[in-house]
Every structure is written in structure tokens, then in C-alpha cells.
């Protein structure tokens, strides 16, 4: 496995890699990341991963400085998973002095996470576009866990004609339903016990829908009430939205993205389920 830290080295290595899958990450890897690697391994002749805690997608009062990091462990996991190339740049490699560009994807970035985290998706779109230009993957793999991120990246690629196929893979969960996340390491034992409540609420919404409920307010109110029953948890938003435009729905006609963001103390958790997904 090649571990590279410069754009020039990645460009030189990429030439020999053929049909290449890219898994962009911020490191502190878990089985969710590794499921993306495994899927890429199955679909591409070579797999690259990036580890970069991208400063520009963090707001001024967010957790950039305390974001968990363990690059030696990450590299061991990626090597064991059969990754061919890892790109681990320093911030100055990605944002050298004088760097002054930003990609703003409109519309879908104003809602949900974008409404709570202004500037977040400009940071994401810009770094992902840079990674696509540097690594030039055939396919790039993202998790459904960050549903809005996938919507933004699909739009980025379509609107700017970036020649990469976007693959979105299912959310990997703990046995109690909590979506795996590097940020789960922030949770105290008591918060960890409370944390599955978000997915339990989303699942209750899913069950109501499966039972025939189509009124989005009823779904939202039911999910909110379940979360409000957990005193340690504060709601940022609970949404029943169109999966492509992310506009809130009043009635679920066919599909809906049901997503939520909550805070447990200083830790933010996000999760989602899709209603009306065609059977796999």
C-alpha cells in the first residue's frame, strides 16, 4: 500500500492504477468506512482512500481541534482491507498560501445540515472536487449516513461535468441501531446509552409510513415526541423531505428522506432512513 502526502506523488501513482475507486474519509476509521472500501474493492481494479480532516468544512465553533485522529491505526486497517493507495495530505498541501477558491452548490445546501452549519457544504464540495481532480477516480464511494452530503456531491458532479461515478452505500450500525460515526467516541457512557433514540425515532417514522401513514406532519411529530422523551437529547431538526430537492413534504407520495440531527451535550449526531425505497 502506497501512503502519499503530496498531490504530485498521487498524480504519478494514479497513472498505473486503471479502474480506480476512491473512498474519501476524515480518518478515525470504523466499519462504516471499511464497508465503503469493501464495496470499492468489489467493483474496481484498485482502491484509493484519503484521510484528511478538512478544516474548511468545520464552522468556527465546531469540533475541528478535537476531531479524533489515529492515522497509524487507520493505515493498518486500510492495509488489511487491501487498499492500494492512501492520500494523507497536510492542510498546507490542500490549501497552500494564496488558496482562494470555493465551490458553492446552491439550493440543496441551504436546508437541513446546511441551515445549521453555514458554509459546511462549500467546504465539502471544494475539498471533494479537489480530491476528484487529484486522484481522478473512476468511482467514488460515500455513505448514506451523510445523506445530504451525497445529494450535494451528486449535484456537484453533474453540474460541473466531473467524470466520476458516485456510489452511495448503506449505513452501517451498531447492534442497537446507532449509526457508526467517528464522533461517537465523544459520547460519555450515559450519552452512549441514550444515543440510539435517534434511530429508534426514525424507525418509528418508517413503521408508521409502512403502515400507511402519508401525512408528513404526523410522521415528524411522532419522531419529535420520541426524541423529546429522552431528556439528554436536543433536536436540531427532524425532517421528512423530498430525497432529491430536500424540500420538506406535507404528504409522502412516493419516496422521502427522513433525517434527523440531535445534540447529546456537545456531540452532534445525524442519521436518516429512506421511506418508500424499492425492495433491494
Which residues bind to ligand AMP, rule: CB under 6 A? 25-26, 32-33, 35-36, 142-143, 145-146, 169, 171-172, 179-182
Strands (E), the chain: 2-4, 20-25, 46-51, 85-87, 139-143, 165-169, 233-241, 256-264, 267-275
Q: Under 8 Å CB-to-CB from 252, ≥6 apart: which residues? A: 209, 214, 216, 219, 240, 275, 276
Decide whether 187 or 249 has the Cβ nearer to ligand AMP: 187
Decide whether 228 or 277 has the Cβ nearer to ligand AMP: 277
Alpha-carbon gap, residue 21 to 2, rounded angstroms: 15
Q: Give the number of other CB atoms < 10 A from CB of residue 49.
A: 30
CB of 272 to ligand AMP, least distance (A): 11
Angstrom CA distances, 68 to 52, 185, 209, 232, 258, stand at: 12, 8, 37, 23, 28
CB of 43 to ligand AMP, least distance (A): 15
CB of 24 to ligand AMP, least distance (A): 6
Decide whether 67 or 216 has the Cβ nearer to ligand AMP: 67
CB of 98 to ligand AMP, least distance (A): 26
Q: Are strands 2-4 and 85-87 parallel, antiparallel or unpaired?
A: parallel
Report, as residue numbers or ranges, the catalytic residues.
33
Amino acid at each position: 500500500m502506497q501512503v502519499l502526502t503530496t498531490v504530485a506523488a498521487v498524480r504519478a501513482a494514479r497513472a498505473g492504477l486503471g479502474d480506480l475507486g476512491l473512498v474519501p474519509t476524515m480518518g478515525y476509521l470504523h466499519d462504516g468506512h471499511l464497508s465503503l472500501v469493501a464495496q470499492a474493492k468489489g467493483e474496481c481494479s484498485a482502491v484509493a482512500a484519503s484521510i484528511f480532516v478538512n478544516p474548511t468544512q468545520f464552522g468556527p465553533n465546531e469540533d475541528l481541534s478535537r476531531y479524533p485522529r489515529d492515522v497509524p491505526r487507520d493505515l493498518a486497517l486500510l492495509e488489511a482491507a487491501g487498499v492500494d493507495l492512501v492520500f494523507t495530505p497536510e492542510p498546507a498541501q490542500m490549501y497552500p498560501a494564496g488558496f482562494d477558491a470555493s465551490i458553492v452548490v446552491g439550493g440543496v445546501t441551504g436546508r437541513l445540515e446546511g441551515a445549521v452549519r453555514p458554509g459546511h457544504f462549500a467546504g465539502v464540495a471544494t475539498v471533494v472536487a479537489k480530491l476528484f481532480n487529484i486522484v481522478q477516480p473512476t468511482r467514488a464511494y460515500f455513505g448514506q449516513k451523510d445523506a445530504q452530503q451525497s445529494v450535494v456531491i451528486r449535484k456537484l458532479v453533474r453540474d460541473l461535468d466531473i467524470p466520476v461515478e458516485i456510489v452511495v452505500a448503506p449505513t452501517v450500525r451498531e447492534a442497537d441501531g446507532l449509526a457508526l460515526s467517528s464522533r461517537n467516541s465523544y459520547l460519555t457512557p450515559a450519552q452512549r446509552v441514550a444515543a440510539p433514540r435517534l434511530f429508534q425515532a426514525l424507525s418509528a417514522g418508517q413503521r408508521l409510513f409502512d403502515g400507511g401513514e402519508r401525512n408528513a406532519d404526523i410522521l415528524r411529530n411522532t419522531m419529535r415526541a420520541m426524541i423529546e422523551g429522552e431528556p439528554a437529547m436536543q433536536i436540531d431538526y427532524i425532517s421528512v423531505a423530498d430525497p432529491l430537492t430536500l424540500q420538506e413534504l406535507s404528504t409522502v407520495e412516493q419516496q422521502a428522506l427522513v433525517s434527523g440531527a440531535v445534540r447529546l451535550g456537545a456531540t452532534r449526531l445525524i442519521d436518516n432512513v429512506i421511506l418508500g425505497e424499492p425492495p433491494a
